Chains A and B, each alone.
Chain A
Amino acid sequence: MDLLNAFVALANFVLIPATAYGAQLALGALGVTLIYGILRFSNFAHGDTMAFGAMVTVLFTWWFQSMGISFGPLPTALLALPFGILGCITLVLFTDRVVYKFYREQKAKPVIYVIVSMGVMFIMNGLVRFIIGPDDQRFADGERFIVSVREFKAMTGLKEGLAIKTTQGITVVTAVVVVAVLFWFLKRTRTGKSMRAYSDNEDLALLSGINPERVVMYTWMIVATLATIAGVLYGLDKTFKPFVYFQLLLPIFASAIVGGLGNPLGAIAGGFVIAFSEVTITYAWKKVLVYAMPESLEPNGLVQLLSTDYKFAVSFVILLIVLLFKPTGLFKGQSV
């Protein structure tokens, strides 16, 4: 038995990747939940909004790289991020003006919004594929690791290595900063308060003189910012591929619903719940158990509950369980 090595292996293969993934999901789910809270529909185009913002960032990153601009040990993409956010905000506000505004004035049913958002999703998806192509794109640069396996082993003398990728570190730090700023904005500023008021009770908010179009505009701007950041972080950490963002839609929705749609705090919690379940259920536990169990009990197989191809099934099952037993989510979300 060697619990220290077991813990290091656990941290290396489960805790750190799941934390980074959870932060990415949480940022994505925050966007979905804000749209739901203010505009009251599930935005199917969110995954492709993330892809679009990330694509603009990738293009700017390449441009900076070709000019020789770099960010030292950090990825150049962080420098390009503000431009990506601006690009995404422009697209999203344009979409709202030409597409969603009409249905708001009609007071259309939520299901119509969902269909419309599906149309938007396909247009955005087509746009991204048209501009950058459907393939994998690499845009990460800078230092690859904060702590590499070799350094860690030399430092501690343990048999198991521990690596923290720069992108994982950046993901978590950025997510914490973004969430802190967002909550400060929602709780302390006038606009943030009017957004919360509008989300809680539309009629009362209108009565007290809040301009709904302004609230909607700010919401879209915040959502585009969150989506771009989430998309870029995911792209840096894993890979940028348009179709992958479409597939992320399911875990993102699952996170938002698990936490309670319309509840920002819930979205964050939901993101981590989904990420940790996905990673722990699809991880082959043999490596950890070899250290943690007495030799006589060591497992023969991989001790993998589900193959990694089924990671979406995990978020789906969690989604079904929440819908069956607690449709408002862990943190009370808006009406069922």
Chain B
Amino acid sequence: MSETTRNTLYFAIVAGLILGTGFLQSWNSALFILNMGLISAIMALGVNLQWGFAGLFNVGIMGFVALGGLATALVAMPPIPEAWSAGGVRLLAGLALLVMSIVSTVLAYKRMEAGKLRTLAMLAILTIGFFAFRAVFDGGVEAVEAINPANAGNIGGLGLPVLIAWPVGGLLAAGAAWLIGKTALGLRSDYLAIATLGIAEIIIAVMKNEDWMARGVKNVIGLPRPVPYEIDLQNSASFVEKASNLGIDPVTASTLWVKTLYAGLFAIVLLVLFLMAQAALKSPWGRMMRAIRDNEDASEAMGKDVTRRHLQVFILGSAICGIAGAMITTLDGQLTPTSYQPLRFTFLVWVMVIVGGSGNNLGAVLGGFVIWFFWVQVEPMGQVLLTVLTSGMAEGSALKAHLMDSAAHMRLLTMGLILLLVLRFSPRGLIPEK
């Protein structure tokens, strides 16, 4: 079987699985799987850029995805003028003070001669800067959070179209990636993993606690959409007529149509990013990245700046994760910081890349779809499996009840197992690197 037929077959199977869901369960869940599958494929592309191209191990995907989500709230929500007039200036001034003190610390480090004096100066700048920041900033936070706390209590957003949030999400993620990459790259490979693990936890902590920014755990709901609302479609005469011509009731038709529109948007983004990633892989740049991955010392001897290239690819990959994060939040229509779980947003993406085939963009896309499909369908399967396993046990036995309750945790076990098995027995994945 040639490579092309094999790959076509793989994607045909995935399409068949999704269509099967449509015929057997409902078209709404099939479209849901398709939509999230498209986004998962984008995340997998980003991680493949880091791992497959460059061999960088990023355990903080969740954090970059969450930053994309934050961008959606900050860009697309309408601004809240009362909050801005109450504390906006103080917030901005506080943040400016913080940035200034960090910049002057860096300057002191670069400009002054090494020694006790420099250390003292840096400490002094940081301490004074921090207290000044808190003095200005805290008042602003209080003022903003006091404005209509039940519905708002935050600064709102910029009121721009939500599609603009997607690239902005990528930019935010790229900024965080720059910070991490600058410190942890160039050292042992484990350090990047640990640093990314940390930044992800902290981004989530900030999003949960800074209520003035995006309402923290009170969640931002009702984000604007790039597609029409179902209720508007149901009220539009022409849409109802078209739906009845097709023989679908207008309510189902409207949900299906909205999801299809989303699928179209996501497919465009995926296609553009995929083509870019393919072009990058085939360009001299891509060959250089793989050369660096395979032998850092030799590439360095050839005059390649390994750390800089690593930083570059790390930022690019994280930015793609940020874009995907903004897309997820747009699809959900709400920002819920508590929904960011490392299992779901970091680990699952890793399984996608490794199962799909690290180093191969097509493989990453395939992995995104396949693993997402199983992720959605494993829980009902696990329920069925446990029902079968426990069918011999007495009704009402404590063990049976416990096992049935634990079905939800099957996902952790299954995904961990899949990862270990693939790494051990088929480390090149479904579609291996050429």
**A interface vs B, CB < 8 Å?**
41-42, 44, 99, 102, 109-112, 114-116, 118-123, 125-127, 129-130, 133-134, 246-247, 249-250, 253-254, 257, 305, 307, 309-310, 312-313, 315-316, 319-320, 323-324, 327, 335-336
Contact = CB atoms under 8 A, between A and B. Distances in A.
B194 interface: yes
B433 interface: no
A231 B59 CA distance: 23
B413 A118 contact: no
Given A134-B409, A312-B198, A44 B187 contact: no
B205 interface: yes
B188 interface: yes
A250 B350 contact: no
A116 B347 CA distance: 12
Given A118-B59, A250-B197, A320-B183, A309 B191 contact: no
A115 B354 CA distance: 10
Given A111-B55, A125-B412, A336-B188, 13 more contacts: A114-B189, A114-B193, A115-B423, A118-B59, A118-B350, A119-B420, A123-B413, A123-B417, A250-B197, A257-B194, A313-B202, A323-B184, A335-B188
Contacts of B55: 111
Interface in B355-398: none
Nearest to A321: B183
A125 B409 CA distance: 9
A204 B48 CA distance: 38
B202 A323 contact: no
Interface of B: 55, 57, 59, 130, 134, 183-184, 187-191, 193-195, 197-199, 201-202, 205-206, 208-209, 342-343, 347, 350, 354, 405-406, 409-413, 415-417, 419-420, 423-424
Contacts of A315: 198
B202 A316 contact: yes
Given A111-B57, A122-B343, A320-B183, A42 B190 contact: yes
Contacts, number: 124
Contact of A253 (B194, B209, B347): B194
B420 A123 contact: yes
A28 to B, nearest CB: 14
A319 B205 CA distance: 17
B195 A126 contact: no
B419 A119 contact: yes
Nearest to B182: A324
A267 to B, nearest CB: 14
Given A42-B194, A115-B350, A309 B209 contact: yes
Residue from B194, B415, B420 having most chain A Cβ neighbours under 10 A: B194
A188 B103 CA distance: 51
27 contacts: A44-B197, A109-B189, A111-B55, A111-B193, A114-B193, A115-B350, A115-B354, A118-B350, A122-B347, A122-B415, A122-B416, A122-B419, A123-B412, A123-B416, A126-B409, A130-B406, A133-B406, A250-B194, A307-B209, A310-B206, A312-B198, A316-B202, A319-B194, A323-B183, A323-B184, A336-B187, A336-B188
Given A110-B190, A114-B57, A129-B406, A247 B416 contact: no
Contacts of B416: 119-123, 125-126
Contact of A41 (B130, B190, B201): B190
Given A307-B209, A327-B187, A126 B413 contact: yes
A99 B420 contact: yes
Contacts of B193: 42, 44, 111, 114
Contacts of B195: 319-320, 323
Residue from A42, A123, A126, A257 having most chain B Cβ neighbours under 10 A: A126
A250 B201 CA distance: 9
Contacts of B423: 112, 115-116, 119
A110 B192 CA distance: 12
A130 B403 CA distance: 8
Contacts of A114: 57, 189-190, 193
B63 to A, nearest CB: 11
Contact of B205 (A125, A313, A336): A313
A129 B416 CA distance: 14
Contacts of A102: 424
A323 B179 CA distance: 12
B409 A312 contact: no
A129 B407 CA distance: 10
A250 B199 CA distance: 10
A120 B420 contact: yes
Contacts of B206: 310
B189 A324 contact: no
Contacts of A133: 405-406
Contacts of B415: 122
Contact of B410 (A119, A125, A126): A126
B209 A319 contact: no
B183 A130 contact: no
Nearest to B179: A320
B190 A127 contact: no
Contacts of B209: 307, 309-310
A120 B193 CA distance: 16
Contacts of B343: 122
A300 B295 CA distance: 59
Nearest to B184: A323
Contacts of B424: 99, 102
A305 B202 CA distance: 16
A126 B412 contact: yes
A46 B187 CA distance: 22
Contacts of A324: 183
Contacts of A253: 194, 197
Contacts of B417: 119, 123
Nearest to B208: A309
Given A114-B57, A115-B350, A323-B195, A130 B413 contact: yes
B412 A122 contact: yes
B412 A111 contact: no
A225 B382 CA distance: 34
B180 to A, nearest CB: 8
Nearest to B342: A246
Contacts of B411: 126
A191 B187 CA distance: 31
A104 to B, nearest CB: 13
A265 B111 CA distance: 35
Nearest to B202: A313
A309 B202 CA distance: 10
Residue from B59, B189, B405 having most chain A Cβ neighbours under 10 A: B189
B201 A247 contact: yes
Contacts of B189: 109-111, 114
A247 B354 CA distance: 25
Nearest to A126: B412
A246 B198 CA distance: 12
B17 to A, nearest CB: 24
